[in-house]
Structure 1
Amino acid sequence: MKVIVAGSTGLVGSALVRQCIASDKVSHVFALTRKPLPDAVAKNPKVSVVLHDDFSTYPPTLLAQLAGAEGAIGGRATQFPDVDTYRKVQVDYTLAAATAFLEKLAPQLPEGKQFRFVFCSGKFAEWDQKKALHFMADTRHIKGQVEQGLCEIADSDTTKRFVVYCARPSGILPADAGLAVRLSGKLYGAIGVDHLAKGLIRILSEGYKDRIIENDQLWVL
């Protein structure tokens, strides 16, 4: 299948591109990114680097470059200067992508095919925006807001050709994590980024029984 990977330069996004290249389930990767990718990736015959500056909009010229994609995976966004920027990137950008893919890419697929949108969320994401939370309140509310928005977009599709999955990893360990980091990660169920990437690709290619996929489920994918 042909896959869109958004956020291709981040921890999760770069692992997704790497694992898509290695996977026999993926025939081509559209790496959607603001910045050029390393030559070792960009020159791989399975990869098309699609440069895009404004992720709040998906003009026809951009969507034409993504034609034929059967699914998309959004890498987890981190390290933003303030909550408003974080919310804009996580919520506004993600929902803009989902809406554009629903309206323009899903209808292009052959009859009977579904466009799968996999969002890398996080453990303890909270849909109730008014619920008082005692730790990581902004992060959990924002991730919950994205999940809820994506599910509403999918539910609005009367053709049932656009489906959404939200994966909720706890911590994510980089591929080169040292022994101390891996041991501390066990305390909160952290998952290796390549293990996570392989699981997200499997969800994208095969679907999954649940729309919300918790951390312990990701471990066995």
Structure 2
Amino acid sequence: MKVIVTGSTGLVGSALLRQCIADDRITKVFALTRKALPDEVAKNPKIAVIIHQDFSTYPEGLLSQLAGAEGCLWAIGGRADQFPNVETYKRVQVDYTLAGAKAFYEHLAPQLPEGRQFRFVFCSGKFAEWDQTKPLKFMADTRHVKGQVEQGLCEIADTDRTGRFVVYCARPSGILPPNAGLPARLAGKLYAAIDADRLSKALIRILLEGYKDKIIENNVLLEL
């Protein structure tokens, strides 16, 4: 399978690239990124690095480079407190994600052979909230924005009467880097944190095999 990976220089995105390279079921990875990748990744024969600066637009030339992709692992985003302000966070998390999904739905999914699906797997977050008016006691901006993305993605998928474009929203709790020390791992047990590589394997499995639910909670991710 040929897949698209975004957020390639981040914690989850870089782990996704490592696990895609290791998975024999994935034949090609289009690493859609604004920055160059490390040589050990970029020079791997499975990886096609595509530099793309504006994730709000998908011109014809870019889409032609992505032709043949049957899925996307979307790992752009993070928490609201990692951005200068909420407006910037919404632009990156909501606008970019929905623009990518819409472009893939309209241009890549219809090109697939009959009976094949384009699976869009979004790395969301635990406790994402769809109700934008609901008061939240912690991480309100992050949870509302993640919920807004999830809702928008599901609305795109619901407009597809052919069943060729499918959305999955994974909701991990805290994510541990591969080099996390013992204190971090012990603390992570308090909120059921998941290792980045383990999360990536779960996301890839969802991409390759699908799943019975659109929303996939952290406890399920830990078991996949």
Q: Same fold (TM over 0.5)?
A: yes
Q: Deviations over 1:32-72 (max 9, x none)?
A: 00001011111100000010000000000000110100000
State the AA in 2 paired with 1:196.
Answer: L
CA contact (8 A) 1:31 1:49 kept: yes
In 2: Cα distance, 1:65 partner to 1:205 partner: 21
Aligned position for 2:72: 72
State the AA in 2 paired with 1:58.
Answer: Y
Q: Deviations over 1:172-207 (max 9, x none)?
A: 000000000000000000000000000000000000
What TM-score do you get using the length of structure 1 for normalisation? 0.99
For residues 77-92 of structure 1, the aligned pairs below 5 Å read 77-78=77-78, 79-92=82-95
Q: Unaligned stretches of 5+ in structure 1? A: none
Matched, 1:132 2:135: yes
State the AA in 1 paired with 2:102.
Answer: T
Total equivalences in the alignment: 221
CA contact (8 A) 1:68 1:108 kept: yes
For residues 1-221 of structure 1, the aligned pairs below 5 Å read 1-78=1-78, 79-221=82-224
CA contact (8 A) 1:2 1:70 kept: yes
RMSD of Structure 2 on Structure 1 (CA): 0.6
CA contact (8 A) 2:167 2:214 kept: yes
In 2: Cα distance, 1:198 partner to 1:76 partner: 17
Per the alignment, in what secondary structure is the counterpart of residue 216 of structure 2? strand
Q: Deviations over 1:6-55 (max 9, x none)?
A: 11110000000110000112111000000010111111000000100000
In 1: Cα distance, 2:148 partner to 2:30 partner: 26
What TM-score do you get using the length of structure 2 for normalisation? 0.98
State the AA in 2 paired with 1:87.
Answer: K
Q: Unaligned stretches of 5+ in structure 2? A: none
Per the alignment, in what secondary structure is the counterpart of residue 21 of structure 2? helix
State the AA in 2 paired with 1:85.
Answer: T
State the AA in 1 paired with 2:65.
Answer: Q
Could you tell me how far 1:76 is from its partner in structure 2? 4.6
Q: Could you list the runs of 4 or more consecutive aligned residues of structure 1 that deviate by over 6 angstroms after TM superposition?
A: none
